[in-house]
Structure 1
């Protein structure tokens, strides 16, 4: 039975919970844009729908897979044994970490800059430790491996996303029959996405569901089985439904012509409905683009027929350069699925940033020991997930606009590749207990896919430069803020 360290310090725990909620709010406002920003930018989801889905999957990810990274954040960066006999000092340090990273995250969100919550909390943790124990209190080896992942994660995530996009462009977008090819790969895309998501939960999963006792081969078999069933369902029901839906939209377009619709406004619809089955998206563009560029009404109608009318950024020409409108329809819902996948991964990885120091604070108080032997409480993980969701609802649209619209032009197809590459990278890191930056993964994927799809003009390099600069200063700024808080605590509170 554990005995509280000192009941007179309950105020520290209460303040810690309040500050942790503010930090979770900042992470939700800034980091959750990583999950659904591309879906909103591609016009697949409204911000309202994105917030609803994000709330569900962020909390689920936090509770189901968040405990592993939480353990790394609270015990892997610092040598907590140095604080034995000085538990109050460690509690104040955890509170300083929460406060320093929360201030920086809220400030960056006000500037619409997507920064790393992981960078913030790691920098803040090192900052208070330097004040308390100097360089001896930091495990530089563990910090070095985490820092290396910060640079590797955007490159890895971007490479995976760009490779997936290259395959889709080669096999679908530039094929002679893009719609037919898109329908053919749809079951595979759904099956793989769902299988990876199931594997992330089943392999060494949460003790709450007793999944930690399932052997690795059992997890793999289950995931592949669910993926195959999903692919079969998509092949049997979704593919025919999508084909019928698209053909009906083409038929409606033709009927609009015969009902006396103005010729200029029907040009875009006739481009879609009358294109021969063997014509590729590139041939369609080459044949009709001159007409469309001189006809704004036709351009808007073509955009609507492609399923991107809702909030899609930029002019229509950039979308036509790569994507047949019918293919956009196929990938629209799949992008929602992958966004949910990414949101689940974000909840599992980044909830630790909000509540890692809080769990340390609670564990020291509850156990009376700096070693923190107890497991991560699920209720505190849930608390962090709720704070993240609150920040998304209230302030999340600011960074969603930056990542989903301003950094690069995104379509359902490119959005799908961005989501899958980034989420896969984050999930693998979460299972390894490595707190990589979801921000770095998603921004790396957006930049790489934007460059791969449209060359140098596909990315706003000025905005990327500003984001990269914010990344560079995050660790020292959060560290200085945390160190300042700790210095004040040492002056006003008797240790």
Structure 2
């Protein structure tokens, strides 16, 4: 057994921290922007505000709920007992995992491919272990459970989002009074969202807050209390404010449309008269409904030329404008919810191997008995946030606009469904892919709202292909690095 704090191994720790930060940077650039893609694309948030919110909630999620998935990543996949007496080999293996995963993730981000950081780090971990211990070094049952969750998570996330969307469509969008129904649903939506988030923290929570000693019924009571309090505040203060803002926005739009229609009045009338004269069998009475329809349309839809026809065709299935405004505010909450869930789940991809490396160096043992250090979780959260600030804009376009056309209501259902799925997986210790969950929700809701034409199936095919090659590519990179180390360094 190695001596704890062996000075000769400090270089592995230093390099490991650097590579882990680079990996976290890549995860932030590739994944974190997914949470705020719909909000930024809809104009609800600016890039700067989205980055600020993501930084706060990514770090909070990493510190408060990231410890459990990190334990799975560093102790569940590998049989670490096989490395007792060979701690240096395990440390180098963890370093190879970080390097192999980080290189592939950065390359994929440069190519604008939204891959899974979870896939990448799991594949890299298996890769170095196959070089060191062959098939005996991998816990195949645990790996199988993780692999099943990869395929189950997009389906589950898509189902949850579709159910939420169906509920909104049935009880709000297709009702006789969609605005009042929407305002009525706001306290419920806010309350449930906050309650689920609090429950994810309070149940079997971090030891730092002594929440690990709290019984399940205590966690449930706290989450229900906070959720009901939030719903009450929203009902008393937010709903009246929202009603006022929506009505003010409707009045402003009406005034703009009226002015725009007056400016075009003469041109439109001449156009109608000309068409009637050219046809020879039409009358002004027959053409008047067209004029009325044109003058009541949105200014964007009144633009001349084929572009207007195309835009009108694109917007024909949208929800009422006032509902779009109503749910655009709620998107901010669901985006932060998704960001919190991402921080809790995906921070483990960056710092799981780093914690394993640190534990071996600090304890001098491969047993991995120490708890996950909160400071290292914080370090991973900071790296993820840095990636978002510097490179996060690259993937907002893909999942925020290109894969499917997203409105405020569909964006809300997509984000809630994906975030709930990721949070449940985090509490179960399963490192599911947030990318898989978000893509599953986008595809299912896009199909549910607009049919087969609502999804870019070509883009989805490319994303699915990137998912398939991530595990073997990361595994090969990690295995290659480990083979080089075994040749250069006596182990």
Does the alignment reach a TM-score above 0.5? yes
| Uncovered stretches (5+) of structure 1, i.e. residues with no partner | 267-286, 302-313
Cα distance in 2 between the residues matched to 1:288 and 1:215: 66
What per-residue deviation string (whole Å, max 9, x for no partner) do you get for residues 223-245 of structure 1? 11111111111111111111122
Counterparts of 1:236-385 in structure 2, within 5 Å, are 236-255=236-255, 262-263=261-262, 291=293, 297-299=299-301, 315=311, 317-385=313-381
SS at match of 1:32: helix
| Alpha-carbon shift at residue 254 of structure 1 (Å) | 4.7
| Alpha-carbon shift at residue 261 of structure 1 (Å) | 5.0
Residue in structure 2 matching 1:414, options 410, 413, 416: 410
Residue in structure 2 matching 1:487, options 463, 480, 483: 483
1:410–1:242 CA distance, 2 compared to 1 (3 A): same
Alignment correspondent of 1:391: 387
Moved over 6 A (4+): 287-290, 293-296
Cα distance in 2 between the residues matched to 1:229 and 1:216: 20
SS at match of 2:237: helix
Alignment correspondent of 2:130: 130
Count of residues in Structure 1 that have an aligned counterpart in Structure 2: 461
1:98–1:170 CA distance, 2 compared to 1 (3 A): same
Alignment correspondent of 1:19: 19
Cα distance in 2 between the residues matched to 1:229 and 1:463: 42
1:290–1:120 CA distance, 2 compared to 1 (3 A): farther
Counterparts of 1:8-407 in structure 2, within 5 Å, are 8-255=8-255, 262-263=261-262, 291=293, 297-299=299-301, 315=311, 317-407=313-403
1:261–1:35 CA distance, 2 compared to 1 (3 A): closer
| Alpha-carbon shift at residue 39 of structure 1 (Å) | 1.6
| Alpha-carbon shift at residue 33 of structure 1 (Å) | 2.1
Q: CA RMSD in A?
A: 2.2
| Alpha-carbon shift at residue 399 of structure 1 (Å) | 1.0
1:316–1:340 CA distance, 2 compared to 1 (3 A): farther
| Alpha-carbon shift at residue 372 of structure 1 (Å) | 1.3
Does the CA-based 8 Å contact 1:172-1:182 persist in structure 2? yes
Does the CA-based 8 Å contact 1:44-1:333 persist in structure 2? yes
Does the CA-based 8 Å contact 1:44-1:412 persist in structure 2? no
1:128–1:293 CA distance, 2 compared to 1 (3 A): farther
Cα distance in 2 between the residues matched to 1:357 and 1:190: 36
Cα distance in 2 between the residues matched to 1:63 and 1:247: 41
Cα distance in 1 between the residues matched to 2:72 and 2:215: 23
1:341–1:262 CA distance, 2 compared to 1 (3 A): same
1:175–1:377 CA distance, 2 compared to 1 (3 A): same
TM-score (norm 2): 0.90
1:61–1:300 CA distance, 2 compared to 1 (3 A): farther
Cα distance in 2 between the residues matched to 1:139 and 1:36: 36
Q: Which moved more, 1:370-379 or 1:4-13?
A: 4-13
What per-residue deviation string (whole Å, max 9, x for no partner) do you get for residues 442-489 of structure 1? 000010001101111111100000000000000000000000010111
Does the CA-based 8 Å contact 1:42-1:415 persist in structure 2? no
Alignment correspondent of 1:308: none
Cα distance in 1 between the residues matched to 2:311 and 2:345: 36
What per-residue deviation string (whole Å, max 9, x for no partner) do you get for residues 310-359 of structure 1? xxxx9464344131110011111211101100100000000000000000
Alignment correspondent of 1:440: 436
Cα distance in 2 between the residues matched to 1:382 and 1:93: 23
SS at match of 1:351: helix
| Alpha-carbon shift at residue 111 of structure 1 (Å) | 1.1
1:417–1:387 CA distance, 2 compared to 1 (3 A): same
Cα distance in 1 between the residues matched to 2:427 and 2:238: 32
SS at match of 2:410: helix
What per-residue deviation string (whole Å, max 9, x for no partner) do you get for residues 143-193 of structure 1? 000000000000000000011001001111111111111111111111111
Q: Which moved more, 1:417-426 or 1:243-252?
A: 243-252
Cα distance in 2 between the residues matched to 1:153 and 1:337: 22
Does the CA-based 8 Å contact 2:173-2:320 persist in structure 1? yes
Does the CA-based 8 Å contact 2:318-2:407 persist in structure 1? no
Cα distance in 2 between the residues matched to 1:127 and 1:290: 67
Alignment correspondent of 1:270: none
Does the CA-based 8 Å contact 2:27-2:384 persist in structure 1? yes
TM-score (norm 1): 0.89
Q: Which moved more, 1:198-207 or 1:43-52?
A: 43-52
Does the CA-based 8 Å contact 1:265-1:297 persist in structure 2? no
What per-residue deviation string (whole Å, max 9, x for no partner) do you get for residues 260-289 of structure 1? 5542679xxxxxxxxxxxxxxxxxxxx999
| Alpha-carbon shift at residue 412 of structure 1 (Å) | 0.9
Cα distance in 2 between the residues matched to 1:295 and 1:420: 32
Could you say which structure has the larger radius of gyration? 2
SS at match of 2:426: helix
Cα distance in 2 between the residues matched to 1:13 and 1:342: 32
